[in-house]
Chains A and B, each alone.
Chain A
């Protein structure tokens, strides 16, 4: 893989992702505007009207139709992309499962926002967490740069012959989607060469091979087809690493299944997704100056969940806090917490104390002082051996 030309820019997260889509130049984009993802179809339709892409843009009447149009276009053999948030994703729900079960490598930008109600347009992860078991690959992004980079890698992963699953790139609404940051874009030609053309083996518009997709799948068949989806999801892990390695050769930017920040000697760790990881890194640097051995694990690949790798990364910690920006409302803990603790138990790593904090719901601000409080709580757990209640809330009033 040749080194790309790096173009320094300053863009919002949505602008960066829309530009990634421009460079990918997919066959079809079908989308419906919803805050905070609206700018993606807005910018992209400008590219369509200016003739900078050859994409067929389908301005549908709802998100259910958006995902349905994506399924149709992808079945026909096209490379297909879309974007949505929160209740838009909720309205897609039925077709989200059709897309993954028909093994269609649709790529979506999921700009994380709280699912109503009560009505809230700000950032948490209840939208993408709601579809975490729908058979879509989920990549999370801390910054505009990561959202852009994940988008450039998305088609290669989703369309890989061992995978053939849809993929969503998740990043925080407003915090990432609307903040302007410095970013390094890849030149158009390098993106084109990296992403390549899409040639599915079987597709509906192939006149030489008439096929039927989505037939009735009764008792003797559905179980096996679901297993195939899960098998492809497991295979996706290696494919993600392969594609990320090639991406690193092109850009110099390294991506794995998750990022470890100052974990080498960490006694206390936070596990958190997306933009809050940035706040955590800032806090870690300050606490390290005071001699606290603190670190961070930031999952990038949430589906497939890197069970053994993440358990291994946390095995030497004494206390761990898993931060969830979505509450499962199940009396047991948030989704990331449930997955991390389950991963550790099944990997026979049971000595660290692991607690859960629900935080940032509905866009509640998370400050470095909040993160500092979490590390201080972990210090207390280590010093006293008293774990207290493992299912906690950060920044809740009362």
Chain B
């Protein structure tokens, strides 16, 4: 069934789609790139960033990846909707909104 789920996309026919649009799998929101809706784009200014970590928990999605050691890396624009909360939370102006 997972195979059927992955096959369904914007070009799928009615024969291929599941009845009622039911998704026969769990934890598949990663496949839905909600960042397509983004209105404004946050830019990470790495040279100003002190890696204080205040921005990370403010993200309503999972668009600020944290790597081993606890440091953040650049935005994951697949899921960032451009809300700008992270930019407000940053005490060092290390995030600018475009």
Contacts and interface: CB of A to CB of B under 8 A. Distances in A.
Partners in one complex: yes
A213 B19 CA distance: 10
Find the residue from B17, B22, B24 having the highest chain A CB count within 10 A. Answer: B22
A213 B26 CA distance: 11
Find the residue from A211, A214, A217, A227 having the highest chain B CB count within 10 A. Answer: A211
Contact of B14 (A211, A212, A214, A227): A227
Majority secondary structure, B binding face: loop
Contacts, number: 56
A213 B1 contact: no
B10 A214 contact: no
A225 B21 contact: yes
A221 B21 contact: yes
Contacts of A215: 21-23
Nearest to B11: A220
B20 A209 contact: no
Contact of B17 (A101, A214, A224): A224
Contacts of A209: 1, 24
B20 A211 contact: no
B25 interface: yes
A225 B17 contact: yes
A346 to B, nearest CB: 23
Interface in B1-48: 1, 9-14, 17, 19-26, 28
B24 A202 contact: yes
* Size class of the contact patch on chain A: 20 to 34
A210 B17 contact: no
A103 B12 contact: no
A225 B13 CA distance: 10
Contacts of B24: 202, 209, 211
A102 interface: yes
Interface residues of B, number: 17
A202 B17 contact: no
A164 interface: yes
A49 interface: no
Nearest to A102: B20
Given A209-B1, A220-B10, A228 B26 contact: no
Given A210-B25, A212-B26, A220-B10, A228 B1 contact: no
Contacts of B14: 224-225, 227-228, 231
Contacts of B23: 211-213, 215
Contact of A103 (B13, B19, B28): B19
Contacts of B9: 220
A164 B20 CA distance: 10
Interface in A161-220: 164, 202, 209-215, 217, 220
25 contacts: A101-B20, A103-B20, A164-B19, A202-B22, A209-B1, A209-B24, A211-B23, A211-B24, A211-B25, A211-B26, A212-B28, A213-B22, A214-B20, A214-B22, A215-B21, A215-B23, A220-B10, A221-B10, A221-B17, A224-B14, A225-B17, A225-B19, A228-B17, A228-B19, A228-B20
What 7 pairs across the A-B complex have the smallest Cβ distances?
Answer: A210-B26, A220-B10, A224-B14, A212-B23, A103-B20, A102-B20, A103-B19
Interface of A: 101-103, 164, 202, 209-215, 217, 220-221, 224-225, 227-228, 231-232
Interface of B: 1, 9-14, 17, 19-26, 28
